Amino acid sequence: MLVKLFTRKTLLFTLLVFSLIKVSSVFAQVDSVTASVDKNPAMADESIVLTVVAFGSANNADFDPSVLEEDFVVGRTSVSSQTRVVNFDTTRSTTWTTILIPRQEGTFTIPAFNVGGKSTQPITVRVIPVSAASNSKAREAFITAEVDVGQPYVQQMVKYKVKIHLATSLQRGSLSEPTLDNADISLIGKDKDYSEIVDGQRYRIIERNYAVIPQTSGQVKIKGPLFEAEVIDRSQNSFSYFNQTRPINRVAPDIVLDVQPIPSDFDGHWLPSEFVQLNEEWQPDLSQAKVGEPITRTLTLSVLGVSEQQLPEIAGQYPPNFKVYPDQATTASVTRDDNVIAQRVENIAIIPNRAGNFVLPPVKVAWFNTLTKQTEYAELPARSIEVASSAPSNQGNSLPEAQNPLIETQSPPSIDSPASGPLEPQIVTVTEKSIWSISSWVLLVIWLLTLALWWFTRRPKSISHANQQTLSTNESESENWKLLKAALKRHKSNEIYPALLKWQSSVTETYGATILDENAITNSDLQEELKTMFASQYAQGDKQWKSDTLSTALTTIRQKIIKNKKNAPSLHPLYAS
């Protein structure tokens, strides 16, 4: 009994499996496939709806419209499935709907499509110009495209203008970008919305501008953008509370460009444009240039019709007695009257280290004028700069105005006058005697004795004065060194450099040595550390510079100067004892 029950269950399971296999084979079977278009012929600026229907069971990925992209702009493809049961008879179908827009006028063939092992019939579609359409009614929507130059040079900006013409109410819409291989395409400004009359019909115009920069020469084709929208359907006879909409699709015509190569006689960075300008600014003015004080030079290059990436570096040359610290350049683009202007700004900090008259060479930027087809130069002329020496610090060395000790102030003679009433001016007559007074003789004798005493003691006094002067200058050098060390501890370059100049002045006066002379620090770490200090002050960004290395270098140099001064042989006295 158990064996019969097991055998019966096994038989039922086998029949169920075979039934499922049979059903699945039926589901995966496609009986037939058809293809059709909604209009034939079609106008050049309107879309064609291609409908492919597979009867039976088909997969959604069985239809691929990409083979049509050579002759048509292939839009969106929608897929729908339907199942109908009539008297227990099941019918299934899958429908693909694709929007096609002809790229040009002519006769085209939509090839056969294979879906689930079944093939459609090829369709021949004729595309006629708009003027040849049998219906003379004004078009409800169309799109145009134009360029400002048909034969540009490589990397020359071409302005591409797209205009959407609408004679009906727009509910919603989108416009794709034009495409071109090996080119940079960017949007210029904002969309413009205005009205215009074409062939007696008023249209709403939506205008959009693009900048197209081809990177290769030869014949290239700009493929027009696709406009997909929904407009209000005015053909509805019955009244409806909600507006009925229908989709429309339009594509702009393709435009062929004949891109010219770079001229063989052009030498330099390729910069095609219609206008190039080079300007400069100085802060402070060149007339205020002094040794050790920075001057900022700002160079601005403005070019019409190029991108920021096309702007070249501005090469400037400077005399060897100038320390140059360039800042990182900045670039920007602005749009004015549908024109793109790119700018490059370079800031250079210049520090002269020697006084004198210097000449800055001219600055040139070569560019190619696309209007005259000639090479031109944006140029800044050579400039003469007078660098003044930095004023030495003489604080505390000014002497008061000397007074003549021989001039004596004598009190005027007393004048008796009444206590009451104003004083009346009186004339006092002083009678000078023809012979010297006794006080004059006394003063003469004292002066002669003083002169004789100075004569006999002139050598020791000179030596003592020299020692006092040396002591004074040594004290000045020490004080300035303390001020410099205090500035070094604070790690602030704007305080260190003025203190360094002041200490150098006292070192030169005391020991006859120069610290910041370019020839004296060529083989020293001091020059590199000074460059680092100035770079941290004028370069862009946060530069965390520490003055420890500079302090060590200056301490070593000071010790060497003092040691060399002590070891130097003393001069013989001018007069022998």
Average pLDDT value for residue range 350-364? 90
Residues 155-174 have pLDDT tens digits of: 999 999 999 999 888 888 99
Whole-number mean pLDDT of the chain?
78
In this prediction, residues 129-145 reach a mean pLDDT of: 70
List Cβ<8 Å contacts ≥24 apart for 470-478.
Answer: 470/510, 473/506, 473/509, 473/510, 474/510, 476/506, 476/509, 476/510, 477/503, 477/506, 477/507, 477/509, 477/510, 477/511
Residue 273: phi, psi to the nearest 5? Answer: -165, 170
Which tens digit of pLDDT belongs to each residue from 297-313?
999 999 999 999 999 99
Q: Give the mean pLDDT of 349-356.
A: 90
Report the pLDDT value the prediction gives residue 437, as an integer from 0 to 100.
60
CA angle in degrees (0–180, nearest 5) for 235-176-137? 30
Rg, the chain, Cα only: 49
Peptide bond into 253 cis (omega under 30): no
Three-state secondary-structure class, residue 4: helix
Q: Are 366 and 267 in contact (CB under 8 A)?
A: yes
pLDDT at residue number 522: 45
Residue 397: predicted pLDDT: 42
Q: Which sequence spans correspond to the domains of the chain?
A: 28-132, 141-259, 272-387, 459-567
DSSP, res 317? -
Token readout for 498 is 């003025």
251 Cβ contact partners less than 8 Å away, ≥ 6 residues apart: 45, 47, 73, 101, 103, 143, 224, 225, 226, 227
pTM above 0.75, yes or no: no
- The CA distances from residue 452 to 412, 460, 462, in Å, are 36, 15, 16
Q: Could you read off the pLDDT of 464-523 as tens digits, one per residue? A: 444 444 445 566 788 888 888 888 888 877 788 778 878 887 877 776 666 665 444 544
- Structure confidence by residue, pLDDT tens digits, 187-220: 999 999 999 988 778 899 999 999 999 999 999 9
Topology of the domain covering 141-259: Immunoglobulin-like (2.60.40)
Residue 117 has pLDDT above 90, yes or no: no
Angle at 482 between CA 477 and CA 487, to 5 degrees: 125
Residues 6+ apart with CB under 8 A from 257: 147, 150, 151, 152, 158, 214, 219, 220, 221, 222
Sequence-distant (6+) residues with CB within 8 A of 72 are 48, 100, 101, 102, 103, 108
pLDDT digits 0-9 by tens, 16-27: 555 554 444 444
- Predicted pLDDT at 3: 46
CA pair distance 531, 47, nearest whole angstrom: 69
* The two domains 141-259 and 272-387 share their CATH topology (first three levels equal): yes
Mean of pLDDT values over 355-384? 92
Q: Give the pLDDT confidence score for residue 105 in this predicted structure.
A: 83
- 534 confidence band (pLDDT: 50, 70, 90): confident
Answer CATH for 28-132 from 2.60.40, 3.40.50, 1.10.150, 1.20.1440: 2.60.40
- The yes-or-no verdict on residue 182 having pLDDT over 90 is yes
**Residue 498: Cβ within 10 Å count:** 16
User: 471 vs 266, which has greater pLDDT?
Assistant: 266
The β-bridge partners of 356 are 387
H or E element that contains 532:
helix 525-538
Give the pLDDT mean for 131-148: 73
Residue 79, beta-bridge partner list = 96
pLDDT of res. 475: 66
Pair type for strands 276-283 and 272-273: unpaired
Among residues of the chain, what percentage have pLDDT more than 90? 28
What pLDDT shows up at residue 194?
A: 94
| H or E element, residue 2 | helix 2-27
**Which fold is adopted by the domain 272-387?**
Immunoglobulin-like (2.60.40)
> How confident is the model over 373-385, as pLDDT tens digits?
999 999 999 988 9
DSSP string, 116-155: TTEEPPPEEEEEE-GGG-S--SPPSEEEEEEES-SSPBTT
Has residue 131 got a pLDDT over 50? yes
Q: What is the DSSP string of 344-371?
A: EEEEEEEEE-S-EEEEEPPEEEEEEETT
The whole-number average pLDDT for the span 60-79 is 83
Of the candidates 472, 499, 504, 498, the one whose C-alpha atom is nearest the C-alpha of residue 485 is 499
* Three-state DSSP class for residue 473: helix
pLDDT at 430: 42
pLDDT surpassing 60 at residue 73:
yes
